Structure 1
Amino acid sequence: MKTTIIGYPRIGDLRELKFASEKYFRKEITADELERTAKEIRQHDLAIQKSSGLDYIPSNDFSYYDGVLDTAFLLGAVPERYTSLGLSELDTYFAAARGYQGDKGDVRALAMKKWFNTNYHYIVPEIDDETEIKLNGSKPFDLFSEALESGVKTKPVIIGAYTFLKLARYKGSKKAEDFAEQAAKAYTELLEKLAALGAEWVQLDEPSLVTDMTAEDISLFKSIYEKILADKHGVKVLVQTYFGDVRDCYSELCALDFDGIGLDFVEGKESLNLISKYGFPTGTVLFAGVVNGKNIWRNNYAGTLDIIAKLRGFTDDIVLGTSCSLLHVPCTLDNESKLSADIKKHFAYAAEKLTELAELKKLVLAEKPEETAEFVRNAALHSGSRIEGNEAVRQKVASLGEKDFTRLPEFAEREKIQKERFKLPLFPTTTIGSFPQTKEVKANRAARRKGEITQAEYEQFIEKKIAECVSLQEEIGLDVLVHGEYERNDMVEYFGECLDGYIFTEKAWVQSYGTRCVKPPVIWGDISRARPMTVRWSKYAQSLTNKPMKGMLTGPVTILNWSFPREDITLKESAFQIAHAIREEVLDLEANGISIIQVDEAALREKLPLRRADWHKDYLDWAIPAFRYVHSGVKPQTQIHTHMCYSEFADIIKDIDDMDADVITFEASRSDLTILDVLKENSFRTEVGPGVYDIHSPRVPSKDEIKTAVNKMLGRISADKLWINPDCGLKTRGTEETVPSLENLVAAAKEVRNENS
């Protein structure tokens, strides 16, 4: 019995990579200094994994920005517009990830999408008909050699050829199958080079195998790997899957000459059934994902040992591992100085999950595992309930009926009422909510937290920032304003702090994309609204202007999806509890004169099951009603907005329309506004604002660029339903980028307005 993990967090225990990268972007440190920090993180993480007793330690799971982007550079699948800039290799990489605007040129970043059913974002590879896929980079070899110098022979990890080709975006007439032979040849050469360096195992990640696969998909997968596995050059090849089960291709997977097959027994509902029904190939190692790589709760050893015992009925050659990369959980509990021991004992971050694997390995080999100290301690942790429930909340959720999810009058009538009330111009302009969180804002928040300023002084500062923000928006000429969200540390954590049933960590940072890290709050008990959450600030902001002020809230599904959820009740029940709390806030805002309320559901699609057959019964049948419950009680003249970012919406566009919002804003610019065709094809009734520029890039879009995007929209969206706005909130941008970008946005909208009036 051996142990492994699929990957380890790469940001550093205290987000060292984030801070070093941002210094590099600001030209405060050199590329060598950035690499020095990166190497220190890798060496630190390697030491932790080695000391834990992990048998197979991964390498190449480190990335400066994103592993899929790393693979694109490894395979030479980099659009010419980046390579022709004449930048260094590292800066070319960052140009593809973030965009570039400088003396070498002006290019937008590659598209960004959610990584399967997680809150992590990957950079979408772009392949055109002239692309030649071939081994081009050296990163996996360099990092394997680096670890070897430290005395550790690692298991190199690379995104598999099939998943890479399935995730790519094709800009010409060629499709994935046209690049299969090139990809297979590149991966064969990859194995050869790793073998020459002394690698024994190579892990090829193929999460696309857990999605719905057609006969053509299965054929593509087989054709690629029959070529790759024809000559493995003496290394053992592990095909690693995660985020679900491989029910569509299990037989084909087992028939190929893989030395190891990695299956997920946490999210993979059918994984155990597949092995029970079809067996497992003799001579192949089963890499069993039995420790949850996505959530922070301690593993229940009794349940896991039961799964392992069943698996051993089919094979004894098992490696215990995590269900997915530990990228999706924080690094270590060691830095959580404020959580009590009674709370911390329930949690396992990445480092603690290594300990869990070591203990499970010991228990499997023990003659009487139930008598070991590890098992007894774990069993006590999982006996009984730690929850002090809120019976009133539970009863309210249990009593919800159809009328609670229905807003009257219907959309068309509300739309007329609202147009008459607001009298907004054609193509109204707005932003998504947040404005730049400057050093001054962060410093004042930290000062309040440390007790260096009083709460009254802090609130006075927030009022000052709101007044400045309102004045700035009026000066720019935006039509619907926001208060800037300066009081919020995070769009989920802030709300969690105003809800009973949540607890908060100190250093539980998780990478969302690139240098963006989030600190998900933890749902500890039943959720209820402890106090008004946003009313004071929205009401104050509205008092400063005659223009409509949007109240800004995060929706129940996004709050749930961006938290670490409970595992003792269903996600549906948690969502409805949160929805009830947000509904109370919506009605409170309305009662205090806020006539436009935005309830963001940025993460609605994030937890959509990867298999279409499960979409409604396992998710949409409660996620959409949870949102509808939030706003079903408001008056017809109150306009409800929502926002969604960095997801693929085409396949659930009718469900999104069924959310019954009045206005919806989408991320769209990085995907070249491809969602427009979907909106038109489905006769989307909701008023809509597809983002006209990418806020995740530091570049400033020109007026003409935005105007081109708006005119493209008008070919597919009725002029009386189109809003003009950025992709997402402006929290992560600087004022020096934000102001000219919004000025260009307003100027473009005015020109198009004049041309269409």
Structure 2
Amino acid sequence: MQTSIIGYPRVGTLRELKFASENYFKGEISIDELNQTGANLRAAHWKIQQENGIDFIPSNDFSFYDGLLDTACLLNIVPERYQALGLSPLATYFAMARGYQGEQGDVKALAMKKWFNTNYHYMVPEINDATTIQLAGTKMFDEYLEAKQQNVVTKPVLTGPFTLLKLAKYTGVKQANDFVRATAEAYVAILGQLNELGVAWVQLDEPGLVTDLSQEDIALFSKLYAQILSAKGNVKVLVQTYFGDIRDCYQTLQELPFDGIGIDFIEGKESLALVKQYGFSDDKVLFAGLVNGKNIWKNQYKRTLGLLQELRAQVKQIVLSSSCSLLHVPYTLAHETKLPVASKRYLAFAEEKLQEFAQLKSIADQADPYSTDLYLKNEELFNSVRFTNNEAVQAKAAALTEADFTRLPAFGEREAIQHAKFNLPQLPTTTIGSFPQTADVRANRFAFKKGDITEEQYKQFNFEKIAACVALQEEIGLDVLVHGEYERNDMVEYFGESLDGFMFTEKAWVQSYGTRCVKPPIVWGDISRSKPMTVEYSAYAKSLTSKPVKGMLTGPVTILNWSFPREDISLRDSAFQIALAIRDEVLDLEANHIEIIQIDEAALREKLPLRKSDWQSEYLSWAIPAFRLVHSGVQAETQIHTHMCYSQFSDIIRDIDAMDADVITFEASRSDLAIIDVINECGFQTEVGPGVYDIHSPRIPSVEEIKQGLTRMLAKIDTAKLWVNPDCGLKTRGEKETWASLKQLVQAAKEVRATL
């Protein structure tokens, strides 16, 4: 039995890449120092995989920001506005990722979207009619040689041409089919270079194949690979899929001359059935994704060996693989000093999954794998009780009725009541919630957690920050204020820490995008709320101003989607438990005179099944009701906001409207305000605030730029329904750029308001 990893985490066990990159952005370290950090991380990743006997170790899975952006740069897909800056290759790369504002010019970053059904974000390649797709970079080859010099033989990894062209944004007349020939020739050139280097295997990632495919899509895929594979030479080509099954193109992949096909047997519901129904070519190697690359629970060897046994009856050549890249799990349990030993034994992060590969490799090669000590020890673990149950919570969820999911009166009547109550100006201005988490904010929280300061000292610091934040918001003229969220480490982690049923790590960071990492909570039992979580700080902010102050909460679907869920109950049941807990907080905020409450569902679309036929039955049928459950008990005068970001919402826009919020803010700036067309076309009833500037970039928008955006919005959206806000929370931004940008936002709103 051989083993393969699709990809490995890259930010470092202690986020070394994050800190090095941010120091480089601030000019505190040189490009050579940044590159050295990258080299050190790659060497460590290759070494630990080699030590655990991984036979197919990936290279080129490392990235300073995003793998798809790396692919775009490798293939010369760099829009002219970035080339015109005249920057170094790496500075140009970061300008595409983060935007640029300096002596050489002022450009926005590329659009950013969620990577399929994960919390990872990718940069959207931008192709126009003048784009010349061709091999232009060397990163892929350099990293292969770098590993080889360390006596590690790797399989280079690259996003495949089909997924690249399907995910790209086309800004001219030409579309994907117009770039087939050039793209195929570029990949042929890549294979030529790999042949010269003596590469044995190359992995071309095609997750686009697990989505709904039309006949045109399959024709596009076939046309690309017919040309590419005809020139592959001695290098063997693995087409790697993940995040689902390949029911629409299974036979096509069998017919094309691939040397290996990577199939996900964890999220791929039909994968095993497809192999049994259609067989598997004897001249191909099946890279069987049987070790879950997304969750943090230990692998149950009984299940994996059972699937392996069924596959061996059908397939001649099998390699045991991860179901997807290990990018989506934390690095290691080694730094977790506070987790109970009894709990840790159920967990497996990236390094521990490598150990599982080594054990499975050993067990699978035995004549009687089920009698080995490794197998028996694993089975004993799975026969023990690990999750904690709360019968009261279960009973409360079971007693829910249709009335619990319905808010009265209906939206139209509520809207009129709220307009009369708040009497806000046209185009009311607000923010999404969080303000910069500066060094002193983080130091205060860290000191409290360490026990160096008292709770009273900790809170007093936060009260002072809130007072300053409210005063500054009033000074620049925002209409609806927030308290700034200085007490919160993360929009999900904070609530998980305040609820019963979650377990927390110290260093289990997972990359969300670029240098942004999150530390997802672990659902360890039934979820409940034992005390208020946000009321004290929100009420304090409210006492400082006559303007409305939003109470800020994270919604149940986002909390669940950004946590590692338990495996013994359904996602629906977990979501309803969380919703009941957040509902209690909503009602407490309302009782404390917080009249506007924002319940963020940033990750609503994240776990939407990749096939439309599964949307209602497997997700939306409980995700939308979970949100409605949270707010259905408030009075008509209480205004409910929600926020969503960095996903494609056009195809579920009616479901979003059915959430029955009063105001919804969307990310829109990086997607060129595309959401407003969809909102206009579907007769969206909810009031909306499409983001007018990109907070994931340090650049400061001009007043004119924001006014142009608002003018475009007003051409499609009723003035009475339009809000003005940034596209996301401001936690990760610096204070100087934040306040400068918000001043521009308020000024732009005032100037447009004066013309109405």
Q: Which residue of structure 1 aligns with residue 700 of structure 2?
A: 700
Q: Secondary structure at the match of 1:335?
A: coil
TM-score of the aligned structures, taking structure 2 as reference length: 1.00
> Residue 116 of structure 2: SS of its match in structure 1?
coil
Aligned to 1:203: 203
Amino acid paired to 1:182: A
Partner of 2:6: 6
CA deviations over 1:518-551 (Å, ceiling 9, x no partner):
0001000000002100000000100000000000
| Cα distance in 1 for residues equivalent to 2:359 and 2:192 | 35
Aligned counterparts of 2:409 and 2:418: Cα–Cα separation in 1 = 12
Aligned ranges for residues 633-652 of structure 1 at < 5 Å? 633-652=633-652
The CA deviation at 1:59 is 0.1
1:386 match: 386
Question: Are the equivalent residues in 1 in contact too, given 2:282–2:317 (CA < 8 A)?
Answer: no
Amino acid at match of 1:146: E
**2:436 is the counterpart of 1:436:** yes
Q: Give the AA of the match of 2:456.
A: A
Offset at 1:387?
A: 2.2
CA contact under 8 A between 2:388 and 2:501: conserved in structure 1? no
Whether the 8 Å contact between 2:549 and 2:595 is mirrored in structure 1 is yes
Aligned partner of 1:38 in structure 2 is: 38
C-alpha separation between the residues in 2 aligned to 1:584 and 1:385? 30
CA distance in 2, matches of 1:132, 1:88: 20
Q: What SS does structure 1 have at the residue aligned with 2:478?
A: coil
RMSD over equivalenced CA pairs, Å: 0.6
Inter-partner Cα distance in structure 1 for 2:619 and 2:368: 41
- Per-residue Cα deviation, 1:101-126 (whole angstroms, up to 9, x for no partner): 00010000000000000000000000
Matched, 1:57 2:57: yes
What residue number does 2:595 align with?
A: 595
1:755 aligns with 2:726: no
3-state SS in 2 of match to 1:90: helix
SS in structure 2 of the partner of residue 45 of structure 1: helix
Pairwise CA distance, 1:662: 0.1
Q: Which residue of 2 aligns with 1:659?
A: 659
User: Take 1:18 and 1:472, find their aligned partners in 2: how far apart are those partners?
Assistant: 30
The equivalent of 2:544 in structure 1 is: 544
**In structure 2, what is the Cα distance between the partners aligned to 1:386 and 1:49?**
29
Partner residue in 1 for 2:224 = 224
Cα deviation, 1:6-55, whole Å, max 9, x if unaligned, reads 00000011000000000000000010010011101111111111101101
- CA apart distance, 1:337: 1.2
Query: Which SS does the other structure have where 2:494 is aligned?
Result: helix
- Superposed, 1:27-106 pairs within 5 Å as 27-106=27-106
Q: Counterpart in 2 of 1:372?
A: 372
Counterpart code for 2:693: Y
**What is the CA distance between 1:370 and its match in structure 2?**
1.6
Match of 1:126 in 2: 126
**Partners in 2 of 1:311 and 1:81 — Cα distance?**
50
For the residue of structure 1 that corresponds to 2:707, the secondary structure is: helix
1:279 Cα offset (Å): 0.3
How does 1:553-592 map onto structure 2 within 5 Å? Answer: 553-592=553-592
Deviation (angstroms), 1:400: 1.1
CA–CA distance in 1 between the matches of 2:386 and 2:93? 47
Deviation, 1:258, is 0.2
- C-alpha separation between the residues in 1 aligned to 2:221 and 2:595? 53
Conserved? CA contact 2:289–2:322, under 8 Å: yes
1:340 & 1:611 partners in 2: Cα distance? 39
- Note if 1:116 corresponds to 2:120: no
Q: Distance in 1 between matches of 2:503 and 2:375?
A: 27
Q: How does 1:124-523 map to 2 (within 5 A)?
A: 124-523=124-523
User: How many correspondences in the alignment?
Assistant: 756
User: Where do 1:522-537 residues align within 5 Å?
Assistant: 522-537=522-537
Give the distance between the partners of 1:228 and 1:370, measured in 2 at CA.
43
Inter-partner Cα distance in structure 2 for 1:425 and 1:295:
47
Q: Deviations over 1:275-308 (max 9, x none)?
A: 0100001110000000110010001110111100
2-side partners of 1:644 and 1:388: how far apart? 32
Tell me by how many angstroms 1:338 deviates: 1.1
- In 1, Cα distance between the equivalents of 2:123 and 2:566? 30
Deviation of the 1:64 alpha carbon: 0.2
1:382-441: per-residue Cα shift (whole Å, max 9, x none)? 114222311111111112111110000000000000000000000000000000000110
Contact 2:558 2:602 survives alignment (8 Å): yes
- Supply the AA of the counterpart residue of 1:692: V
- Cα deviation, residue 150, structure 1: 0.1
Alignment match, 1:729: 729
Q: What stretches of structure 1 of length at least 5 have no aligned partner?
A: none
Paired AA for residue 341 in structure 2: A
- Give the deviation of 1:257 after TM superposition: 0.2
Q: Please report how far the alpha carbon of residue 56 of structure 1 lies from its aligned counterpart in structure 2 after TM superposition.
A: 0.7
Displacement after TM superposition at 1:614 (Å)? 0.0
Cα distance, 1:378 vs structure 2: 0.7
Give the Cα separation in 1 of the matches to 2:398 and 2:225.
50
Match of 2:720 in 1: 720
Deviation at 1:603, TM superposition (A): 0.1
Q: Which residue type is aligned with residue 721 of structure 2?
A: K
Q: Which amino acid aligns with 1:244?
A: G
Q: What SS class does the counterpart of residue 732 from structure 2 fall into?
A: coil
Decide whether the 8 Å contact of 2:238 with 2:258 is kept in 1.
Answer: yes
Query: For the Cα contact (< 8 Å) 2:9–2:328, is it kept in 1?
Result: yes
Q: How far is 1:367 from its partner?
A: 1.4
* Counterpart in the other structure of 2:711: 711
Structure 2: distance between partners of 1:56 and 1:386 = 33
Aligned-partner Cα distance in 2 for 1:652–1:228: 36
For 1:698 and 1:463, how far apart are their aligned partners in 2? 27
Distance 2:307 2:17 in 1: 37
TM-score between the two structures when normalised by the length of structure 1: 1.00
1:3 is matched by which residue type in structure 2?
T
- 2:755 is paired with a residue of what secondary structure? helix
The 2-side partners of 1:576 and 1:341 are apart by 30
Q: Distance in 2 between matches of 1:398 and 1:368?
A: 45
Cross-structure match for 1:613: 613
CA positional deviation for 1:368:
1.6
CA distance in 2, matches of 1:591, 1:315: 63
Cα distance between partner residues in 2 of 1:315 and 1:269: 18
SS in 1 for 2:670: helix
1:198 to partner: Cα distance? 1.5
1:174-233 superposed Cα distances (whole Å, 9 cap, x missing partner): 111110111111101101101111210000000000000000000000000000000212
CA shift for structure 1 position 364: 1.2
Matched letter for residue 717 of structure 1: I
Distance across 2 between alignment mates of 1:250 and 1:398 = 41
- Output the CA distance in 2 between the equivalents of 1:641 and 1:288: 44
Query: What SS does the aligned partner of 2:754 have?
Result: helix
How far is 1:264 from its partner?
0.1
d(CA) in 2 for partners of 1:551, 1:4: 47
Moved more, 140-149 or 380-389: 380-389
**Aligned letter for 1:32?**
D
Q: Distance in 2 between the 1:137 and 1:531 partners?
A: 55
- Give 1:452 deviation, angstroms: 1.4
User: What's the offset of the Cα at 1:141?
Assistant: 0.2
The amino acid that maps onto 2:518 is: V
Q: How far did 1:153 drift?
A: 1.2
